[in-house]
Amino acid sequence: MKFHELAEYFDKLEATSSRNELVRILSELYTKVSASEIGPVTYLIQGRLTPFFEPTEIGMGEKYVIQAVANAYKTGKDEVAKMYSKLGDLGLVAEKLAGRTKSEPLSIEKVYARLLEIAETSGAGSVEKKLGALAALLDELDSVSAKHLVRIPVGKMRLGIGDPTVLDALSFAKKGDKSLRPVLEGAYNKTSDLGLIAGTFWGKGETGVEKLKVTVGKPIRPQLTERLPNPEAVVQKLGTVLVEPKYDGFRVQIHKDGDEVSIYSRNLESMSLMFPELIRATKALSVKDVILDGEAIAYNVETDQYLPFQETTKRRRKHGIEELAETLPLRAFVFDVLYKDGKDLTGLTYEERLEILKPIIKGSETLLPTKVTKTDSAEVLAKQLQENISNGLEGVVVKRPDSIYQAGARNFNWVKLKRHTSGELNDTVDLVLLGYYFGKGKRTAFGAGGLLAGVYDSEKDEFVTVTKIGTGLSDDEWREIRKRGDALQVENKPARVNSILVPSVWIRPEIVVEVMADEITKSPTHTAGKDGGETGYALRFPRIVSFRDKDKKAEDATTVKEIVSMYKQQYQHKESG
């Protein structure tokens, strides 16, 4: 397939506001590509050249892409910048400036290979080489192709396609329905690589996908926790449980393959360069290859003090890493082992995995074992919860001793209990910002006076509204949210957003915030849990606690299912009270 044909499909995807239509268009595209093209196409749809966990970036910021556009179309850099300021999209600038190409249309594989070459260019003079290569490539493309190509290095593809949409489209392309979604999703949970799954599916069929295995160097999608309101509910539902502290840090998945160590975040991004002390500690382990699951948190060993998330998050940076590691050292509290010396351990029970884990990290001063208590007593569980909160932690996580590790799953094998508040809602929720409203009065100076926020509907792969937020931010934070929102601004409602309310400005669903609220109520104006009914669910008196998009993707936000469950728990609490 030629790249301009792919660009035409990108135009169709960008223009639709229907998730079902996204699946239809994408599945049609997939029926027309070859086995060798489908992997690159899948990455390009995500605005990537490789899976998210591989740090392969084109490495050109906006100012360099502006220069490349100027060079490609023999236009002054200032003129390009002026057009960008007016249009708000470098892709549209390139589309307007691009003339009719005189070159033979380039194939998808040729364009993809040249983008990879740009990304892999390094060393002395690499910036100039990248500029020249991108400008030359743009000069060979038609206007629509140039529009979409330019959006890749600046990270603004505007297609609104989530992972479940890709998996559904792959199934539709082969079967005409979603029947193969579970098989494809199972492989994705093990490998976190949509391009690999698509290529395997096209080349080796369903059987080939089923044979994909857990591999060191490819992060496993993490198992997640469910919620219950109190210790009594936990013991009643789960019986005997293993109780662990809930740390307020970074979820880390640590991979060791000989002398190579990789660290991945909860949202599957590589963090290997950011945490040198964890790298050194992992290299010192006696095992040949291993995958560990844990939580990294800034921790003062001398005072036995855990530092808040706001301190820990300072470690996510690209410069001054070693210096900060000295002043703000991390410890990884390891609570699971998923793979060891060539064997996938995810099918073993949690108690069995803990026994395997103990000798692996024994003696390490940086990779520390999580404290585990086994109990079937609500009183003991309540005591553990209060002790952890008094130590500055979020609460506890309880796990079924006989549960296997279910990658990507959120179920009652793992349950979290957190600190209570004076309000009816006893836990924070993670929301995705969907748009903002222009400020009134004092807030006119900030540009944003209210935020439209939502949760994730994992069944439909869409974001639904649950509240409007007007408190919890300082004056500077309001200005910052306007600045960040403008960088994600889109003209129309994003394709995967389901909303009755219309904010002053729509933004792409990427910013995740932790929110506290007094209670969950029924609402006719919000779409969370509405499903054709008259009312959905809404948060009452929400206020922002912190920003969490440095460690969570939009799809990692609180789900509709969780909101419904929390509403029922809250109602039962009121009834019993």
Q: Is 564 helix (H, G, I), strand (E, B) or coil?
A: helix
- Contact present, 528 and 406 (Cβ < 8 Å): no
- Contact present, 449 and 437 (Cβ < 8 Å): yes
- Contact present, 415 and 228 (Cβ < 8 Å): yes
E strands, 383-491, are 395-399, 410-418, 429-437, 450-457, 462-469, 489-490
Contacts of 216 (CB under 8 A, 6+ apart): 255, 256, 257, 289, 290, 291, 339
| Helices vs strands, H then E, count in the chain | 20, 22
DSSP summary character for residue 47: T
- Contact present, 452 and 506 (Cβ < 8 Å): no
Give dist(CA 40, CA 34) in Å, integer: 11
Give dist(CA 49, CA 64) in Å, integer: 19
Among residues 343, 458, 456, which one has the least CA distance to residue 408?
458
- Contact present, 517 and 542 (Cβ < 8 Å): yes
Give dist(CA 564, CA 537) in Å, integer: 8
* Lookup: tokens for 511: 């910013």
DSSP summary character for residue 203: H
Rounded to 5°, the CA angle 537-541-543 comes to: 110
The type of residue at 297 is I
DSSP summary character for residue 556: G
Radius of gyration over every alpha carbon of the chain, rounded to an integer in angstroms: 24
For the annotated catalytic residues, the residue numbers are: 246
